[in-house]
Structure 1
Amino acid sequence: MPILIAVLAAAAPLFAMASESWGLVPCALCLWQRWPYWVAAGLALLAALLPGRARPLLLGGAILAVLVSGGIGVLHAGVEFGWWPSPLASCQAANTSSGAAASVEDLMRSMAAAAGPAKPCDAATFLIPGLPVSMAAMNVLYALGLAAFAFTVLRKEARA
């Protein structure tokens, strides 16, 4: 079961990366939500490889990492709804360069902007047209579901 948890944890950022090939553009908070899933996948893989006392601790760490991503998703959804501003300065400094530069300095500034996030964090990204659930909100739901599943696995293993 820890292998399945690792696969499901890795599936979230892999799906988000695949959505970029469909034309969806991530913001800085979108990118931040991916890292805890990678941590969770690594911890779950270690739990599969290291039986014994370390296993429940590693699975617990994986659950915590998934919940951290869900927490970032809640923060991101709040930014999208305008409930609070983003804590990341890069969320407001999304690339707005037109590509036309009047001087070398303007060109350098536009190049620096292009290296940053492609869109502001308060611009919600919707995967399914007509469904008013942003990718950030979908991440919250997925994180809660995965954490609940992993917690169930952890409890069953503790009883065995």
Structure 2
Amino acid sequence: MTRKNLMLLAAFGSFALLAGAFVFQALGYAPCKLCIWQRWPHGVAVGAGALVAVVGPLSLLGVVGALSAATTGAIGVYHSGIERGLWEGPTDCTGAGDGLSGMSGADLLSTDIPVDIVMCDEVAWAFLGVSMASWNALASFALALIWVAALRRS
């Protein structure tokens, strides 16, 4: 495969992962805060791929794509660790931490706070015992390798 085709393949992979995430959301699986964080680098990789299609396979675009894919993979590993209880996640989307300390009874009963928070430490859906965050991490690191392979092509 040519350098350009590898870059386009990797960008399409990010596009497919993003599309899959939005399909799951449309099916009723609301994303948590970390799920949304994982989407942003995919968007950057798709943008890099779009630029590759227009201006050609510039090395800078390959670096941007590889770093984007690796970043979303790293966020996926972080998210997976939270889901498995290996470490604590952000207190605004997990059951960990002292999020209730310092709150009065009126604060706890207040109705002006969001009640539809999706928890980051709960697995919403898994395939073969592997969560969506874990699948995203695996696929994203594979995409990062494709971007790197593209960079190694002349």
Confirm whether residue 61 of structure 1 aligns to residue 89 of structure 2: no
Q: Helix, strand or coil: the match of 2:125?
A: coil
List gaps (5 residues or longer) in structure 2.
96-108
Q: TM-score, normalised by structure 2?
A: 0.79
Q: Deviations over 1:105-144 (max 9, x none)?
A: 73323xx333xx3x2111013243xx11000110111011
Q: C-alpha offsets along residues 10-56 of structure 1, whole Å, 9 cap, x if unaligned?
A: 1112111101223323211111100000011111221332237xx01
Q: Distance in 2 between matches of 1:122 and 1:7?
A: 29
Larger helix share, 1 or 2: 1
- Identity value in percent: 33
Q: Distance in 2 between matches of 1:125 and 1:72?
A: 17
* 8 Å CA contact retained: 2:10, 2:144: no
Question: How many pairs are equivalent?
Answer: 136
Cα RMSD for the two superposed structures: 1.9
State the partner residue of 2:48. Answer: 43
SS at match of 2:112: helix
Long gaps (5+) in structure 1: 94-104
- Check the 8 A contact 2:41/2:71 in 1, yes or no: yes
SS in 2 for 1:89: coil
Is the 1:43–1:58 Cα contact (8 Å) retained in structure 2? Answer: yes
Between stretches 134-143 and 6-15, larger displacement belongs to: 6-15
Which of 131, 135, 139 in structure 2 is aligned with 1:134? 131
Render the CA deviation track for 1:63-121: whole Å, top value 9, x for unaligned.
Answer: 100100000000000101111111x332137xxxxxxxxxxx73323xx333xx3x211
Question: Distance in 1 between the 2:27 and 2:115 partners?
Answer: 23
Matching of residues 3-152 of structure 1 within 5 Å? 3-51=8-56, 55-86=58-89, 88-92=90-94, 106-109=110-113, 112-114=114-116, 117=117, 119-128=118-127, 131-152=128-149
The 4+ residue runs of structure 1 with deviation greater than 3 A are: none
**2:101 alignment partner in structure 1:** none
Q: Return the structure number with greater relative CO, CA threshold 8 A, min gap 6.
A: 2
Quote the Cα distance in structure 1 between the aligned partners of 2:55 and 2:149.
19
Corresponding letter in the other structure for 1:63 = A
Contact 1:13 1:37 in 2 (8 A): yes
One-letter amino acid matched to 1:147: A
